[in-house]
């Protein structure tokens, strides 16, 4: 089974709740993609629950990310505060740099007036 993870941007007005919203494919633009990054997905799932997400599987459940979320994620990445995932090893420096690159792109998108959201499919 795979784990495909995406960050998308969309016009801010289309995202009203923080979680569990749906959007037409033609409205969104892909910002970033990860494959089988279980530590990040577990971190996102904890955030999803904290924001009131209702899907117990956290599969195909959209979640908006704001500046505070990105700040918390950056801190977790830099301080190795990512949750342990089924005994999987933490990612290497190249992958860590990729995660930080996502945060830079997401912050730029927020500054430019877009909403950023995360969605995973497994």
Residue pLDDT, tens place only, 65-120: 999 999 999 999 888 767 665 555 555 667 888 999 999 999 999 999 999 999 99
The single residue listed with the structure tokens 């005994």 is 87
Residue pLDDT, tens place only, 50-66: 999 999 999 999 999 99
């Amino acid at each position: 089974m795979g784990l495909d993870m995406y960050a998308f941007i969309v016009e801010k007005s289309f995202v009203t709740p923080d979680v569990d919203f749906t959007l037409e494919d033609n409205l969104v633009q892909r910002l970033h993609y990860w494959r089988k990054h279980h530590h990040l997905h577990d971190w996102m799932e904890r955030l999803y629950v904290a924001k009131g997400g209702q899907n117990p599987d956290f599969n195909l459940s959209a979640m908006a990310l704001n500046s505070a979320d990105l700040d918390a994620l950056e801190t977790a990445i830099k301080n190795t505060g990512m949750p342990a995932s089924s005994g999987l090893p933490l990612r290497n420096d190249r992958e860590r740099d990729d995660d930080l690159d996502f945060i830079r792109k997401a912050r730029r998108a927020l500054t430019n007036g877009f909403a950023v959201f995360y969605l995973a499919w497994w």
